[in-house]
């Protein structure tokens, strides 16, 4: 590691893994509470190479692509009831006769990482949102190009990496790392502090990760709770993008009633708005009719 005072977390994942989606509140809280003391590095693990040859015995998922969609939707809804992140099952269709793998989403992430690393985490988040909360078939090339455009990726560079094999090779490198560490399920988290490594498999709580960070760093890394105010919430949404209620509750460590009061005040001030999706929704910064977003290079209501 370049900096002994920084702890790295390798997050073995897949863009359409429901428990990786459910881990977003925890990872966002870690990033806010520890800041530059930690670095979270996604490693693409490729959940489903071919749904026709895949079988998840615990959730009865696999086989025919169309039948798998209903099985997955049921599983995602059950998981959502536990982790709290929104899921849309109406019209859910992750797989089809033409789209039988989650590898395209993994490769697309690596393409963005190659052409603009600063936008990679935003793109990964956007794939997760589109897959889980918008019921979009994100394995399709045209959908992935749209999502890359959503976060401001330069499309010519993105498509070049998709077409010339560099993104696919970067994904194969991630698969090799995943196999070397024996990360067979997602999410899996590898904590690195100097020469020390510790692996946690499956969904984790913030307090569990907090304890691991304290243990590995021998108390050298200290978390810092953010200010709990309407302005702090607004700043977070402006910086990190829209968030589900469960994410804001986690990041700001607020009781539900207190968080609701702050969100209601910001809504009445017309600074934020709530966008219902699936069985939940997202809070996002409200834009004026004539405002323009320099990231996506669009203007509108």
Q: What is the pLDDT of residue 26?
A: 98
Q: What is the pLDDT of residue 82?
A: 96
Q: Is residue 112 within 8 Å of 158, Cβ to Cβ?
A: yes
Q: Is residue 136 within 8 Å of 92, Cβ to Cβ?
A: no
Mutual angle of helices 117-132 and 141-150, in 10-degree steps: 120
pTM: 0.93
- Pairwise pLDDT comparison (229 vs 296), residue with the higher score: 229
Percent of the chain, pLDDT > 90?
90
The CATH superfamily label for domain 7-180 reads: Glutaredoxin (3.40.30.10)
Give the confidence band of 61 by pLDDT, cuts at 50, 70, 90: confident
Give the confidence band of 2 by pLDDT, cuts at 50, 70, 90: very low
Alpha helices in 98-153 (DSSP H): 103-115, 117-132, 141-150
Q: What is the pLDDT of residue 143?
A: 98
Q: Is residue 301 within 8 Å of 295, Cβ to Cβ?
A: no
Give the confidence band of 265 by pLDDT, cuts at 50, 70, 90: very high
Give the confidence band of 239 by pLDDT, cuts at 50, 70, 90: very high
Where in the chain are all domains bearing CATH 3.40.30.10? 7-180
Peptide bond into 187 cis (omega under 30): yes
Q: Report how far residue 245's alpha carbon sits from residue 253's, in angstroms, rounded to the nearest whole number.
A: 12
Q: How many CA atoms lie within 13 A of 169 on its CB side?
A: 6
Quick check: 297 pLDDT over 80? no
Mean pLDDT (the chain) is: 94
| Cβ neighbours for 134, distance < 8 A, ≥ 6 positions apart | 88, 277
Q: What is the pLDDT of residue 58?
A: 79
Quick check: 290 pLDDT over 50? no
Q: What is the per-residue pLDDT across 136-179, written as a single tens digit (0 to 9) for each?
A: 999 999 999 999 999 999 999 999 999 999 999 999 999 999 99
Closest CA to 21 of 213, 172, 175, 244: 244
Q: Within a 10 A sphere around the Cβ of 232, how many other Cβ atoms?
A: 15
Give the confidence band of 300 by pLDDT, cuts at 50, 70, 90: low
Q: What is the pLDDT of residue 289?
A: 44
Q: What is the pLDDT of residue 277?
A: 96
Q: What is the per-residue pLDDT across 26-59, written as a single tens digit (0 to 9) for each?
A: 999 999 999 999 999 999 999 999 999 988 877 8
Quick check: 266 pLDDT over 90? yes
CATH number for the segment(s) 230-299:
1.10.10.10
Q: What is the pLDDT of residue 56?
A: 85
Where in the chain are all domains bearing CATH 1.10.10.10? 230-299
Q: Report how far residue 133's alpha carbon sits from residue 280's, in angstroms, rounded to the nearest whole number.
A: 8
| Cβ neighbours for 286, distance < 8 A, ≥ 6 positions apart | 270, 271, 272, 273
> Could you tell me where the beta strands, DSSP code E, fall in the chain?
7-13, 38-44, 55-56, 61-62, 188-193, 196-201, 272-277, 280-285, 292-293, 298-299
């Amino acid at each position: 590691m370049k900096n002994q005072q920084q702890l790295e977390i390798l997050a073995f994942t897949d863009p359409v893994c429901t428990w990786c989606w459910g881990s977003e509140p925890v990872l966002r809280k870690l990033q806010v509470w520890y800041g530059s003391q930690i670095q979270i590095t996604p490693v693409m693990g490729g959940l489903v190479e071919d749904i026709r040859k895949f079988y998840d015995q615990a959730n009865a998922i696999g086989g025919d692509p169309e039948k798998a969609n209903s099985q997955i939707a049921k599983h995602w809804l059950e998981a959502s009831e536990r982790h709290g992140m929104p899921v849309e099952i109406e019209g859910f269709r992750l797989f089809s006769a033409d789209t039988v793998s989650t590898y395209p989403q993994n490769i697309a992430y690596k393409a963005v990482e190659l052409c603009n690393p600063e936008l990679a985490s935003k793109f990964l988040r956007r794939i997760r949102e589109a897959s889980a909360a918008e019921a979009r078939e994100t394995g399709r090339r045209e959908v992935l190009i749209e999502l890359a455009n959503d976060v401001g990726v330069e499309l010519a560079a993105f498509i070049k990496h998709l077409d010339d094999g560099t993104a696919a090779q970067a994904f194969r490198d991630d698969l090799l790392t995943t196999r070397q560490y024996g990360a067979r399920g997602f999410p899996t988290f590898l904590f690195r502090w100097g020469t020390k490594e510790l692996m946690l498999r499956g969904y984790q709580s913030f307090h569990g990760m907090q304890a691991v960070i304290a243990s590995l760093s021998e108390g050298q890394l200290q978390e810092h709770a953010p200010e709990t105010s309407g302005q702090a919430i607004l700043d977070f949404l402006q910086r990190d993008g829209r968030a589900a209620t469960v994410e804001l509750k986690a990041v700001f460590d607020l009781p539900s009633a207190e968080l609701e009061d702050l969100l209601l005040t910001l809504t009445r001030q017309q600074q934020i708005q709530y966008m219902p999706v699936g069985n939940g929704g997202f809070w996002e910064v409200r834009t004026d009719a004539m405002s323009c977003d320099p990231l996506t290079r669009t203007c509108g209501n």
